[in-house]
Amino acid sequence: MGAVMGTFSSLQTKQRRTSKDIAWWYYQYQRDKIEDELEMTMVCHRPEGLEQLEAQTNFTKRELQVLYRGFKNECPSGVVNEETFKQIYAQFFPHGDATTYAHYLFHAFDTTQTGSVKFEDFVTALSILLRGTVHEKLRWTFNLYDINKDGYINKEEMMDIVKAIYDMMGKYTYPVLKEDTPRQHVDVFFQKMDKNKDGIVTLDEFLESCQEDDNIMRSLQLFQNVM
The answer to whether the beta carbons of residues 145 and 227 sit under 8 Å apart is no
Share the mean pLDDT of the chain. Answer: 79
Instruction: Tell me, letter by letter, the H, E, C secondary structure of 114-157.
Output: CCEEEHHHHHHHHHHHHHCCHHHHHHHHHHHHCCCCCCCEEHHH
Q: Are 148 and 104 within one domain?
A: no
Is 35 domain-assigned? no
Whether this prediction's pTM lies above 0.85 is answered by no
Highest mean pLDDT among 23-27, 202-206, 208-212: 202-206
Where is pLDDT greater, at 30 or 11?
A: 30
**pLDDT tens digits along 140-173:** 999 999 999 999 999 999 999 999 988 888 765 5
Q: How many domains does the chain have?
A: 2
Which of the 8 DSSP states describes residue 75? -
Residue 35 CA to residue 30 CA, distance in Å, equals 9
Q: Are 57 and 128 within one domain?
A: yes
Q: What is the pLDDT of residue 132?
A: 92
Q: Are 150 and 127 within one domain?
A: no
Q: Are 144 and 203 within one domain?
A: yes
Q: Are 100 and 138 within one domain?
A: no
Is 108 domain-assigned? yes
**pLDDT tens digits along 36-78:** 444 444 445 556 688 899 999 999 999 999 999 999 888 888 8
Q: Are 181 and 171 within one domain?
A: yes
Which of the 8 DSSP states describes residue 79? E
Name the residue range of residue 67's domain. 49-132
